[in-house]
Structure 1
Amino acid sequence: MNTYKSRNEVPENEKWNLNDIYPSLEKWEEDYRHIEQIAEKLKEYDGHITDGSSLFQYLEQKEKLSYLFNKLYAYAMLKTDEDTRVTESQSYVDRAKQLSVKISSSTSFFMPYLLSLAEDTLKGYVAEEKGLKYFEEDLLESFRYKPHVLNKDKEEVLSHLGEALSAPSHTFGMINNADIKFGEVTGEDGDRVELTRGMYAKIMEDEDRSKRKEAYKAYYQPYVQLKNSIASTLSAAIKNNVTMAKIRNYPSALEKGLFGDKVPKEVYENLIETTKNNIGPMHQYIRIRKDKLGLEELRQYDMNVPLVKGVKPVITYEEAYETMCKALSPLGEDYISTLKEFKTLRYIDVRETPGKRSGAYNLGIYGVHPYILLNHRDDLDSLFTLAHECGHGVHSKLSSQHQPQITARYSIFVAEVASTVNEVLLINYLLNNEKDEEVRKHLLNHFIDQFKGTFFTQVMFAEFEMRTHEMAEKGQPLNADVFNQIYERLFREYNGNEIIFDEEVKYGWSRIPHFYRPFYVYKYATGFASAIHLATKILEGDKETLNSYLEFLKSGSSDYPLELLKKTGVDLTTPYPIENSLKEFRELVEEFGEL
Structure 2
Amino acid sequence: MTTYEKRQDVPEQEKWDLTDLYASEDDWQKDLDDVLAYARELKAFDGHINDGATLFAYLKKQEEMAYKLQHVFAYTMFLSDIDTRDAHAQQLSAKASQAGVKVSEATAFFMPFLLSLDEDTLQQYIREEERLGYFEDSLWKSFRYKPYVLAKEQEELLSKLGETLGAPADTYNMLNNADIQFGLVTDEDGNEVPMTRGMYSKRIEDEDREVRREAYKAYYKPYVELNNTIATNLAAEIKTNTTLAKIRGHDSARSQSLFGDNIPVNVYDHLLAAAKANIQPLHDYTTIRKEKLGVEELRQYDLNVPLVPDMKVDITYDEAYDTMLEALAPLGDDYINVLREFRDKRYIDVRETAGKKSGAYNMGVYGVHPFVLLNYHDDLSSQFTLVHEMGHAMHSYYSNKHQPQITANYRIFVAEVASTVNEVLLIQHLLKKNADQPDMRKYLLNHFIEQFKGTFFTQVMFADFEKQTHERAEAEEPLDANSLNELYESLFRAYHGPELVFDDEVKYGWSRIPHFYRAFYVYQYATGFVSAIDIAMRILDGDQETVDNYLAFLRSGSEDFPLELLKKTGVDLTTPGPVENAMKMFSDTVAEFKQV
Residues 347-391 of structure 1: CA deviation (Å, up to 9, x unaligned)? 111111121111111111111111111111111111111000000
Query: In 1, distance between residues paired with 2:146 and 2:489?
Result: 40
Q: Which residue of 1 aligns with 2:187?
A: 187
Query: In 1, distance between residues paired with 2:481 and 2:5?
Result: 46
Q: Which residue of 2 aligns with 1:217?
A: 217
Instruction: Give 1:108 shift.
Output: 1.2
Q: Which residue of 2 aligns with 1:427?
A: 427
Q: Which residue of 2 aligns with 1:536?
A: 537
Give me the TM-score of the superposition, normalised by structure 2: 0.99
Partner SS, residue 29 of structure 1: helix
Partner SS, residue 45 of structure 1: coil
- Give the residue type in structure 2 aligned to 1:436: Q
Residues 15-43 of structure 1: CA deviation (Å, up to 9, x unaligned)? 11111111111111111111111111111
Are 1:240 and 2:245 matched, yes or no? no
Q: Which residue of 1 aligns with 2:284?
A: 284
Query: In 2, distance between residues paired with 1:45 and 1:526?
Result: 41
- Give the residue type in structure 2 aligned to 1:163: E
Query: In 1, distance between residues paired with 2:514 and 2:310?
Result: 34
Residues 397-436 of structure 1: CA deviation (Å, up to 9, x unaligned)? 0000000000000000000000000000000000000021
Q: Percent identity?
A: 60
Listed as ranges, the gaps of 5+ residues in structure 1 are: none
Q: Which residue of 2 aligns with 1:438?
A: 439
Distance 1:310 1:375, change over 3 A: closer
Query: In 2, distance between residues paired with 1:463 and 1:511?
Result: 16
Query: In 2, distance between residues paired with 1:527 and 1:436?
Result: 31
Residues 146-199 of structure 1: CA deviation (Å, up to 9, x unaligned)? 011112221111111111111110111011111112233223454444322122
Partner SS, residue 207 of structure 1: coil
Q: Which residue of 2 aligns with 1:357?
A: 357
| Aligned residue-pair number | 595
- Give the residue type in structure 2 aligned to 1:347: Y
Query: In 2, distance between residues paired with 1:16 and 1:193?
Result: 39
Are 1:517 and 2:518 matched, yes or no? yes
Are 1:475 and 2:468 matched, yes or no? no
Within 5 A, what are the aligned runs for 1:113-152? 113-152=113-152
- Give the residue type in structure 2 aligned to 1:547: D
Q: Which residue of 2 aligns with 1:570?
A: 571
Are 1:508 and 2:499 matched, yes or no? no
| 8 Å Cα contact 2:20/2:368 also seen in 1 | yes
Q: Which residue of 2 aligns with 1:3?
A: 3
Residues 107-150 of structure 1: CA deviation (Å, up to 9, x unaligned)? 11111111121212211211111110000001111110001111
Distance 1:107 1:309, change over 3 A: closer
Within 5 A, what are the aligned runs for 1:232-381? 232-309=232-309, 311-381=311-381
Moved more, 198-207 or 520-529: 198-207
Partner SS, residue 349 of structure 1: strand
Q: Which residue of 1 aligns with 2:450?
A: 449
Q: Which residue of 2 aligns with 1:589?
A: 590
Instruction: Give 1:311 shift.
Output: 2.6
Partner SS, residue 298 of structure 1: coil
Within 5 A, what are the aligned runs for 1:30-45? 30-45=30-45
Partner SS, residue 371 of structure 1: strand
Listed as ranges, the gaps of 5+ residues in structure 2 are: none
Query: In 2, distance between residues paired with 1:84 and 1:230?
Result: 32
Query: In 2, distance between residues paired with 1:325 and 1:185?
Result: 44
| 8 Å Cα contact 2:228/2:480 also seen in 1 | yes
Query: In 2, distance between residues paired with 1:467 and 1:343?
Result: 46
Query: In 2, distance between residues paired with 1:531 and 1:375?
Result: 25
Query: In 2, distance between residues paired with 1:11 and 1:19?
Result: 17
Residues 62-87 of structure 1: CA deviation (Å, up to 9, x unaligned)? 00000000110111111111111222
Query: In 2, distance between residues paired with 1:582 and 1:536?
Result: 13
Query: In 2, distance between residues paired with 1:113 and 1:221?
Result: 50
Give me the TM-score of the superposition, normalised by structure 1: 0.99
- Give the residue type in structure 2 aligned to 1:499: L
Instruction: Give 1:310 shift.
Output: 5.6
| 8 Å Cα contact 2:310/2:443 also seen in 1 | no
Q: Which residue of 1 aligns with 2:171?
A: 171
Partner SS, residue 13 of structure 1: helix
Query: In 2, distance between residues paired with 1:446 and 1:187?
Result: 29
